[in-house]
């Protein structure tokens, strides 16, 4: 009854804004799914439950900013990286602790994932490495919050120029594929990996097959499939 109405609200209000460039949050994501997003391939609607989880995460972020402001820590929030050609993004915050600047990135998760976290998630490390690079800051803090129990873990990350170069090369490589209409191959753990489980491009990906292929050929297959 009410649940269906609420879910429908989330389904009906999804904006599929056209993405025109890479985001820092794309670092570590499946290159094929980023390719599909930038090419505006047909995608499934996002699960309303997942959208509610994102919303809740944003509320937690705002609550924490408020606490940090009240602690009178020198801090600026939601700062876009300086404009450049390959990628855009917005860091949660930059703050100053004991005379040293840090990029701050906040992530929230359920208790089960939180409890098993003994090191920062690699995709989160990729993101803060890129933020550090573009802001020319040498340290970052990844702050993880347990949404169910409100517990907190933090990890301090040092800037790694080699890793940043690898990530930027990955974006350049994918940019080349986009320009040449070459769909990247599937992930090595396809189709059982976690990214595939949550992927909104599962159907197009299945149609494409596992190997690289020409985007125009895939578009023909998509049209034929939908006739
Ligand atoms: S289903 Fe998996 S391999 Fe295919 S686009 Fe999605 S994440 Fe990538």
- Going from N- to C-terminal start, the domains of the chain cover 20-166+184-222
Class of domain 20-166+184-222: alpha beta
DSSP string, the chain: -HHHHHHHHHHHT---PPP-SEEGGGTTS-HHHHHHHHTT---PPPPHHHHHHHHHHHHHHHHHHHHHHHTT-EEEEEEEPPP-SSEE-EEEEEEEETTEEEEEEEEEE-HHHHHH-SS--HHHHHHHHHHHHHHT-SEEEEEEEETTT--EEEEEEE--HHHHHHHHHHHHHHHHHHHTTEEPPPPTTTTTSHHHHH-TTHHHHHHH-SS-EEHHHHHHHHHHHT-
157 lines ligand 1 (CB under 6 A): no
205 lines ligand 1 (CB under 6 A): yes
Burial of 66 (0-12, 13-18, 19+ CB in 10 A): exposed
Nearest-angstrom CA–CA distance, 221 and 208? 8
Query: Mean pLDDT of residues grouped by 10 in the chain (227 residues)?
Result: 82 73 94 96 85 84 87 88 90 93 94 95 97 97 92 97 97 96 97 94 96 95 84
Residue 91: predicted pLDDT? 95
199 lines ligand 1 (CB under 6 A): yes
What is the atom index within ligand 1 of the atom nearest the CA of 31?
8
What is the atom index within ligand 1 of the atom nearest the CA of 29?
7
What is the atom index within ligand 1 of the atom nearest the CA of 30?
8
Residue 11: predicted pLDDT? 81
The pair phi, psi for residue 160, each rounded to 5°, is: -130, 100
Nearest-CA residue for atom 5 of ligand 1: 33
| Count of alpha carbons within 13 angstroms of residue 56, beta-carbon side | 14
Nearest-CA residue for atom 2 of ligand 1: 196
Positive or negative torsion for Cα 125, 131, 133, 136: negative
Residue 16: predicted pLDDT? 66
19 lines ligand 1 (CB under 6 A): no
Joined tokens for residue 115: 């409890």
Joined tokens for residue 58: 């944003």
CB 203, CB 33: distance < 8 Å: no
CB 140, CB 132: distance < 8 Å: yes
CB 114, CB 151: distance < 8 Å: yes
186 lines ligand 1 (CB under 6 A): yes
What is the atom index within ligand 1 of the atom nearest the CA of 36?
5
Residue 160: predicted pLDDT? 98
Ligand 1 centroid from CA 52, angstroms: 23
């Amino acid at each position: 009854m009410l649940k269906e109405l609420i879910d429908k609200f989330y389904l009906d209000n999804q904006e599929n804004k056209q993405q025109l460039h890479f985001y820092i949050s794309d670092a570590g994501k499946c290159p094929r799914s980023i390719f599909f997003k930038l090419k505006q391939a047909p995608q499934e609607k996002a699960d309303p439950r997942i959208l509610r989880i994102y919303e809740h995460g944003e509320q937690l972020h705002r609550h924490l900013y408020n606490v940090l402001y009240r602690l009178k820590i020198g801090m600026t929030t939601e700062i876009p990286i300086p404009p450049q050609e390959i990628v855009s993004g917005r860091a949660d915050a930059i703050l100053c602790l004991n005379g040293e600047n840090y990029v701050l990135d906040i992530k929230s998760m359920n208790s089960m994932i939180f409890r098993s976290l003994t090191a920062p998630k690699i995709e989160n490390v990729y993101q803060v490495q890129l933020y550090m690079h573009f802001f020319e800051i040498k340290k970052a803090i990844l702050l993880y919050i347990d949404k169910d129990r409100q517990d907190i873990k933090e990890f301090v990350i040092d800037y790694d120029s080699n890793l940043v170069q690898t990530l930027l090369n990955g974006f350049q490589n994918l940019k080349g594929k986009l320009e040449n209409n070459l769909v990247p191959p599937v992930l090595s753990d396809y189709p059982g990996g976690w990214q595939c489980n949550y992927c909104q491009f599962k159907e197009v990906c299945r149609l494409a097959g596992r190997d690289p292929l020409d985007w125009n050929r895939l578009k023909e297959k998509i049209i034929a499939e939908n006739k």
